[in-house]
Amino acid sequence: MVAGAVILSASAAHADADDKITKLIQLLIEKKILNPRQARDLLQETNAPAKPKRAPVAIAPGEAAAPAAKPGEIRVTYVPDFIRKQIADQVRAQVMTQAQTEGWAAPDALPEWTKRFKLYGDVRARYERDSFAGGNYNKFVNFANINNGSAFDAENYGAGSDSQSPPPFLNTTEDRDRPRVRARLGVLADIDDGWTAELRLTTGADNGPVSPNQTMGSPGDFSKYNAYIDRANIAYAPFDGINLYAGREANPFFTTDLIFYNELNFDGIAATVDEPVTSGLHAFVNGGVFPVLNSAFDFSTNSDQKFGSANAYLLAIQGGAEWQVRRDVVAEFGVGFFDFNGVQGAVSQPCAVQLGNIYACSTDDTRFPFQQFGNTVYAIRNIVPAPVTPTSSGNPPNPQYYGLASRFAVLEVHPRVEIDSYMPFQIAISGEYLKNLAFDREAILNHGPPNGPIGPQNNFGSNGYYQGGDTAYMIRGEFGHLKIEKRWDWNVMLAYKYLETDSTLDSINDSDFHLGGTNAKGYILTGSLGVAKKTFVSLRWFSSEVISGPKDSNNVFQLDLQSSF
């Protein structure tokens, strides 16, 4: 249209130009840029004089007369030069505006490779209030802190000698206010037919896998935030419904945060298959092998005696189906088996104190480096007692690290029903059930190094007996817009959770409920409201208490503002 307008405005022959203007205006009508009435009004505004009558033109034999104008068709007899120029300028401006909006004004302006990259991300600002009930027990040992630092002398403190340095304790008594922020930026690249690559950066701390939050004001003086790679993978889709992944990828399983934190990413290789069975019924199979723990290459670092690897893996398989029960009801069901092979701590070979210190014992790398709260632990170092001398005071030292007391082979069942009968509002009812099939109470009670201490080191009831358990479940209901996309979209959610101590790994499940981990039960209430496109505010309340052990109740309030792109 632009080329036609330019040629038209430059033409010196009125008859030829008028024909082209006629075609141009007709084209504008066909493209719905002008309607017939607008075209007539435009011609009337010209006040063009009528052209002199011409003698009738004879029609040669075999020639047909020009067809009559069709309904809605415009026949232009004369358009002045200034109107032709005005039309050309208007068309040029409108077409260029449309071209820039739709991205075809300059198809070669950017290199071809840039079209194969997609940027995405989100930013979330949060205010969090963590409040604790009065009378909470205040001596829950922070075993993750011990395992990431110096070994703890269990012998002297455990014998009641409070003059010895106590272990680090969790905060269960003093309320905290925490302004926090999370920022993530990712790029997804289309490499070749079926091949893609993904890389994503996130804020957060490097001491655990579950929370990408950065607490504002920490460590102080407006210090800059750290950024970490939380996704780096190559994916291949050889056929529709089949996807293969290698690297660090998003959770490939149909699960909830009862077993895996919602934003948890998995190291390793994975495959997902989703295929139609019949009309309205899809079956899926997900599986993979994921390294969970790997020994340091030079373990043990400060000793000339090196020890073998103590690697741990998650071997996982899940199957299920999605069924379109009827037009407005969809049901999903998944059953998975998650075998955390090698995460249990192992008792070391005899390990002697050297000059008052122990540089390393053979199984130090089986201590779990990150733990939130709940899993049962036991001592893993088999310390050879140093001889007592007349100048010695107290008992021989027993510097200990701690490993997980139980094995974890978790059966997971996850049903979900979505009801769209009240559109635009939706209802979703879901649940999840976990059972640690490898939990062995007798083995846990008798686990430990020959020189002690023997048995579990936490999760005791008021009667002094071990109260660990192997079962967890959750029930959740949601109502409103299940996915908030625009302003005034909203939803509410209510859930109840129950997690016994060793139902699943406490290090990789939800980090907000009971401030993370297992051995807790309670409620979650959430309300969210869209305030702009892909921008919403939400208010969440968590109320929980421990299942086993002395009193520990807390409430967590979170107010979020989040935008994604």
**Across the 565 residues of the chain, what is the mean pLDDT of every consecutive 10-residue run?**
42 52 68 65 51 44 52 60 77 73 60 84 97 95 91 70 74 96 96 95 84 88 89 97 97 97 96 95 98 83 75 96 96 98 94 68 89 95 73 71 96 98 96 98 93 91 91 98 96 98 97 96 98 97 96 97 97
Give the span between the Cα atoms of 145 and 167, in whole angstroms. Answer: 9
Model pLDDT, residue 356: 54
Q: What is the pTM of this model?
A: 0.79
**Statement to judge: residues 423 and 385 lie in one domain:** yes
Helix extents (H) in 304-382:
none
**Statement to judge: residues 76 and 138 lie in one domain:** no
Residue 545 within any structural domain of the chain: yes
Model pLDDT, residue 434: 98
Instruction: Determine how β-strand 242-250 pairs with β-strand 399-400.
Output: unpaired
Residues 36 and 72: beta-carbon distance below 8 Å: yes
Residues in the chain: 565
**Statement to judge: residues 332 and 407 lie in one domain:** yes
Residue 59 within any structural domain of the chain: no
**Statement to judge: residues 83 and 199 lie in one domain:** no
Domain count, the chain: 2
375: number of Cβ within 10 Å: 26
Q: Residue 293: beta bridge partners?
A: 312
Give the span between the Cα atoms of 459 and 470, in whole angstroms. Answer: 13
Residue 513 within any structural domain of the chain: yes
Model pLDDT, residue 393: 56
Cα 253 to the center of its chain, rounded Å: 12
Residue 111 within any structural domain of the chain: no
Q: Which of 493, 524, 520 is CA-nearest to residue 504?
A: 520
Which residues are within 8 A (CB) of 533 and not within 5 positions of it... i.e. 6 or more apart?
Answer: 485, 486, 487
Give the span between the Cα atoms of 46 and 530, in whole angstroms. Answer: 51
- Residue 502 belongs to a domain with what CATH number? 2.40.160
**Statement to judge: residues 102 and 156 lie in one domain:** no
φ/ψ region of 356 (left if φ > 0, alpha if ψ in -120 to 50, else beta) reads left
Model pLDDT, residue 355: 55
Which residues are within 8 A (CB) of 457 and not within 5 positions of it... i.e. 6 or more apart?
Answer: 141, 143, 154, 376, 377, 378, 379, 402
**Statement to judge: residues 48 and 150 lie in one domain:** no
Give the span between the Cα atoms of 42 and 48, in whole angstroms. Answer: 11
Distances (CA, A) of 517 to 94, 374, 404, 481, 510: 59, 6, 14, 29, 7
Model pLDDT, residue 4: 44
**Statement to judge: residues 162 and 77 lie in one domain:** no
Give the span between the Cα atoms of 520 and 47, in whole angstroms. Answer: 85
Give the span between the Cα atoms of 379 and 210, in whole angstroms. Answer: 25
Model pLDDT, residue 399: 87
**Statement to judge: residues 95 and 223 lie in one domain:** no
Residue type at 183 in one-letter notation: A
Residue at token pair 């011990």: 146
Q: Which of 552, 511, 550 is CA-nearest to residue 370?
A: 511
Give the span between the Cα atoms of 260 and 242, in whole angstroms. Answer: 23
Residue 113 within any structural domain of the chain: no
**Statement to judge: residues 98 and 132 lie in one domain:** no
Q: Residue 27, SS3?
A: helix
Model pLDDT, residue 452: 82
**Statement to judge: residues 196 and 80 lie in one domain:** no
Model pLDDT, residue 104: 58
Give the span between the Cα atoms of 152 and 146, in whole angstroms. Answer: 7
Residue 503 within any structural domain of the chain: yes
293: number of Cβ within 10 Å: 19
Give the span between the Cα atoms of 179 and 129, in whole angstroms. Answer: 9
Residue 66 within any structural domain of the chain: no
282: number of Cβ within 10 Å: 16
Task: Tell how many helices (H) and how many strands (E) occur in the chain.
Answer: 7, 23
Distances (CA, A) of 342 to 57, 258, 315, 379, 456: 99, 21, 11, 16, 18
Q: Which of 46, 41, 38, 37 is CA-nearest to residue 18?
A: 46
Q: Which of 471, 487, 483 is CA-nearest to residue 535?
A: 487
Residue 186 within any structural domain of the chain: yes
**Statement to judge: residues 46 and 152 lie in one domain:** no
Give the span between the Cα atoms of 545 and 525, in whole angstroms. Answer: 16
**Statement to judge: residues 167 and 297 lie in one domain:** yes
- Residues of the domain holding 487: 122-564
